[in-house]
Structure 1
């Protein structure tokens, strides 16, 4: 059953599209992490270590909804059996069933925020959500050549032709209490989503944060970041800014649990 977290009037629902092993040992993905940092990461997030010791990834999306109003979906998972992520991720995903279990009709999704264009974040985008505007940063679209070669014809072109692609330039307010934040580095136009009620805050991180070892040390680079220095700056600065106002919640696509407390700091 999907898990919820409430921020003010907004319910944030974690939707698991699939779970499977990563294609690379985590020590190669985070080459600078120490044995002590791995031990602390495993203490904080034991569910990402599979029975065989491999890095075990959930693939999540997050639905945001105030009351029975329209739904904003952050990311679109790994997708069906023929999705671009099929070469490495555990397709087919189960997002349609997760939405149904959460009481969400795909037709009620009016906004899809794609944190970035890696294949495990865009799999169900487009046809599953016929009434949704899809949001990307301009810097991400300008870097299409970095991503899966199917994306222009399969996703970006059809969305643009249907008038359902909205291009953002930096931080953007979506609805009261919901703001898109530009967090480049993992990809050129990576973006995150902040839900802020004044007293409570929740940050949907996208791949700003990929593994709990980056909570142990936010300065640790991930091997698949396009620009590690910029990614490090985005991660450390945003986590610091969010925590400066008191404890907050991180909603993460790949950690073992969807909602993690970020202590005040």
Structure 2
């Protein structure tokens, strides 16, 4: 069942847990390498794969990220596929056809693979919001199996934009060139801006799979400082608890 929703700025935001599990052997590294300098214990890193459903007073339905996808998805080499997004949506009273807008925080396989099925586009009535900077660099399976099938439904943005009334995306480059977070009132849906709680205490801690670790760290420090000043609420992708007041 989905976690309880939060009401922010008149919208209902429901976390959807697509999967829980450790990284598979194809991508797993010791924690000392995954977060260099963090002095984390060498124990399995159990990730929660959260997506977020936003329903506003006008009845618009927005989904932030689409999870890890099917058993043979681009995430299958390392993530605990298949994801359970359809079941989580159903528990929240939503079908894929009900979704008006899909916002992809970035084009990594654990955040975007669920946008498609073996039959094609999953969210057939939704425009899919992606930053141009990520489209410029995406390749391989993510291009062939995810971006190409949704290409006619893309809403391409460059930088910050209100994509639904009351819902804004903000470019937060570093993890990928087009990584974006989503703001709904005091809530910030952070994608992979922050991967592990250790980065909240020290935003300079790198993550080995950031495209540009130095830029990611600088972006993380700047954005977190601003969110703390606002006393915002984080809605995280991979923490155990989806909501984290700052």
C-alpha contact (below 8 Å) 2:104/2:111 kept by paired residues: yes
Matched residues, number = 237
- Per-residue displacement from partner, 1:11-48 (whole Å, max 9, x unpaired)? 111001111112223221101113xxx48xxxxxxxxx
SS of the counterpart of 1:206? coil
Per the alignment, residue 166 of structure 1 pairs with 155
Give how far 1:125 is off.
0.5
Equivalent residue for 1:91, pick from 81, 91, 98: 81
SS of the counterpart of 1:112? strand
Give how far 1:85 is off.
0.5
Do structure 1's residue 255 and structure 2's residue 239 form an aligned pair? Answer: yes
TM-score with structure 1 setting the length: 0.86
- Residue ranges of structure 2 left out of the alignment (5+ in a row): none
SS of the counterpart of 1:122? helix
Equivalent residue for 1:156, pick from 147, 150, 155: 147
SS of the counterpart of 2:205? coil
Equivalent residue for 1:55, pick from 23, 45, 52: 45
Give how far 1:140 is off.
0.4
Counterpart-to-counterpart distance in 2, 1:251 and 1:177:
16
Per the alignment, residue 231 of structure 1 pairs with 216
Give how far 1:68 is off.
6.5
Do structure 1's residue 2 and structure 2's residue 7 form an aligned pair? Answer: no
Per the alignment, residue 12 of structure 2 pairs with 11
Paired residues for 1:1-265 under 5 Å: 1-3=1-3, 4-22=5-23, 23-34=28-39, 38=40, 53-67=43-57, 69-126=59-116, 127-145=121-139, 149-160=140-151, 163-196=152-185, 201-245=186-230, 247-262=231-246
Counterpart-to-counterpart distance in 2, 1:84 and 1:234:
27
C-alpha contact (below 8 Å) 2:113/2:142 kept by paired residues: no
SS of the counterpart of 1:255? coil
SS of the counterpart of 1:19? strand
Root-mean-square deviation (CA, aligned residues, Å) is 1.5
Report 1 or 2 for greater relative contact order, CA contacts < 8 Å, sequence distance ≥ 6: 1
C-alpha contact (below 8 Å) 2:190/2:236 kept by paired residues: yes
C-alpha contact (below 8 Å) 1:219/1:232 kept by paired residues: yes
